[in-house]
Amino acid sequence: ILRRGMTYPIPKRLVRRFAEGVRRLLVLEELDPFLEEEIRLLGIPVTGKEVFPACGELDPAVVREAAIRAGLLPESERLPSVEVPSPPLPGRPPILCPGCPHRAVFHVLRKLKVVVAGDIGCYTLAYLPPQAALHTCSCMGASIGVAHGIAQAGSPQRRVAVIGDSTFLHTGLPGLMNLAYNQARVPVIILDNCTTAMTGHQDHPGTGRTLQGKETVRIDLAAVARSLGIEHVECVDSYDLGAVEQAVRAALSADGPAVVIARRECALLPAVRRTWQPLAVDSERCNGCGLCLQLGCPALVRTGSVVEATGRPRVRIDPLLCTGCEVCSQVCARGAIPRRPAH
Ligand code: SF4
Ligand code: SF4
C-alpha cells in the first residue's frame, strides 16, 4: 500500500516505482478520481472508480463490499449484516440561531405581508417555516435587482430587498446604485451583523479590521447609501421590534429608494457570547398561545404542561440556548417573558 497524505503535486517517481512492484494498481480515494486521473496521465494502468464508489464516505464496510463485488476479495470475506435498532429522531430543520439579530426583522416583514427578495447568507434560512418570510434567493447580490425588477414590472405588491452587510459590500452596491439611478421605490434592508457569519465570522470592509486582524478604514454603510443620492437612510437596532417596524413602514412609504440598516452584532461572536443572559417564561402567565414560537427561536420549546383553559402547551426557554436577546419578550402579549431589570 502506498499511502499519500498530500495529493498534489503527485510524487511521480515514487508512484512509478510503486506501480512497477505490483501486479495491479488500484486507487482508493473519496469523491472524484483525482489521483486516479493523474496516475493515468503518467501512462500507468490504474483502476479506481470502476471499483470504489465516487459518492459518500469510504469506510471499511463500503471498501470491503466494493472489493468483493469487483472480485478482489472472496465472497467469504462478506460480513453478516447487523441491524442496530435506533429510536426515531426528531426532525431538526435548519433555523436561525438563538438570539440571531435577523429574527426580529423577518418577524416584522412577515407581519407587514411584503414580498421579500432575499440574498445569500445565514438569513436565507428565514425562507423556512415558521418564519417563511423570504421569497426569492438566487445568487450573491441578486436581492436588490430582483426587488427592483418586481417594481419595474409594475407589480402592485409591496416589496423589499434584504441583504447582509458582507454580501452588500461584496455584490450589493451595483444594484443599489441602479436603484438610486432609476429612483425606484424599493426599500433595501441591510442586515448588518458586523461580520460574515455564515462562513465563520470573517471580517469585511464594514468591520474596520482586515482579514489579518489589523485595524483599517471602516466603510460606513449609511454614508455609502447617501453618497449614491439616496435620501431616505435609517439605522435601527435589530433587537428593537418597534423601531424595526417603524423604520420598515417609513421605508415602504418613501417616495424613492430607501435604505434601512438593521444593526446588531451576530449573537455568536465571542464578545457577544460573554454577554448572554438567558430569560425565563413565567408559566403562571403563559397561556400557550404560541405567538412567540412563530419567531422560530430554537431556545423556545413547548412543555408537557397544558393550560387548562386553552388546552395548549405552555412554552419554556432552554437556558442553555437562550442568549437573552429579548425579542420574544416583545412578542408575548401576556408579558409572560419578562425582560431583564435594566429595562
Ligand atoms: S407568547 Fe407568551 S403567552 Fe404565548 S406561548 Fe409564548 S410565552 Fe406563552
Ligand atoms: S430571548 Fe427569546 S428570542 Fe432571544 S434567544 Fe432567548 S428565547 Fe430566543
Number of domains in the chain: 3
ipTM score for this prediction: 0.98
Query: Residue 83 — very low, low, confident or very high, per pLDDT cuts 50/70/90?
Result: confident
Closest Cα to atom 6, ligand 1: which residue? Answer: 292
Neighbours of 1 (CB within 10 A): 6
Nearest ligand, measured from the Cα of 315: 1
Over its C-alpha atoms, the chain yields an Rg (Å, rounded) of 27
Q: Which strands make up the sheet holding 187-192, listed edge to edge? A: 115-117, 159-164, 187-192, 258-263, 232-237
Which of 272, 296, 312 represents a domain boundary (last residue)?
272
- Identify whether residues 235 and 313 lie together within a single domain: no
Whether 343 shows a pLDDT value over 60: the answer reads: no
Whether 187 shows a pLDDT value over 90: the answer reads: yes
Whether 63 maps to a domain, the answer reads: yes
Whether 136 shows a pLDDT value over 70: the answer reads: yes
Which of 248, 272, 296 represents a domain boundary (last residue)?
272
Query: Residue 286 — very low, low, confident or very high, per pLDDT cuts 50/70/90?
Result: very high
Distance CA 73, CA 65 (A): 9
189 lines ligand 1 (CB under 6 A): no
The whole-number pLDDT of residue 6 equals 80
Nearest ligand, measured from the Cα of 277: 2
Ligand 2 environment, Cβ below 6 A: 98-99, 279, 295, 297, 299-300, 317, 322-328
Model confidence pLDDT, tens digit, residues 250-272: 999 999 999 999 999 999 999 99
**Sequence-ordered list of residues with C-beta below 8 angstroms from that of 62, at least 6 positions apart, any chain:** 52, 53, 56
- Identify whether residues 288 and 163 lie together within a single domain: no
Whether 252 maps to a domain, the answer reads: yes
Per DSSP, 136 falls in state B
**Any idea which residue has 493515468 for its cell?**
40
- Identify whether residues 109 and 211 lie together within a single domain: yes
- Identify whether residues 116 and 224 lie together within a single domain: yes
- Identify whether residues 259 and 131 lie together within a single domain: yes
Distance CA 267, CA 96 (A): 11
- What average pLDDT is seen over the chain? 95
Per DSSP, 26 falls in state B
The string of DSSP codes covering 105-129 is: HHHHHHHTT-EEE--SSGGGGGGST
Nearest ligand, measured from the Cα of 291: 1
- Identify whether residues 58 and 138 lie together within a single domain: no
Residues 206/223, Cβ–Cβ less than 8 Å: no
Whether 302 maps to a domain, the answer reads: yes
> Residue 263 carries which side chain, given as an amino acid letter?
R
- Identify whether residues 126 and 165 lie together within a single domain: yes
Distance CA 111, CA 133 (A): 9
Model confidence pLDDT, tens digit, residues 192-213: 999 999 999 999 999 999 999 9
**In angstroms, what is the span from residue 289 Cα to ligand 1's centroid?**
5
> Which residue range forms the structural domain that includes residue 323?
276-331
- Identify whether residues 157 and 227 lie together within a single domain: yes
**In angstroms, what is the span from residue 20 Cα to ligand 2's centroid?**
64
Which of 225, 244, 272 represents a domain boundary (last residue)?
272
- Identify whether residues 16 and 38 lie together within a single domain: yes
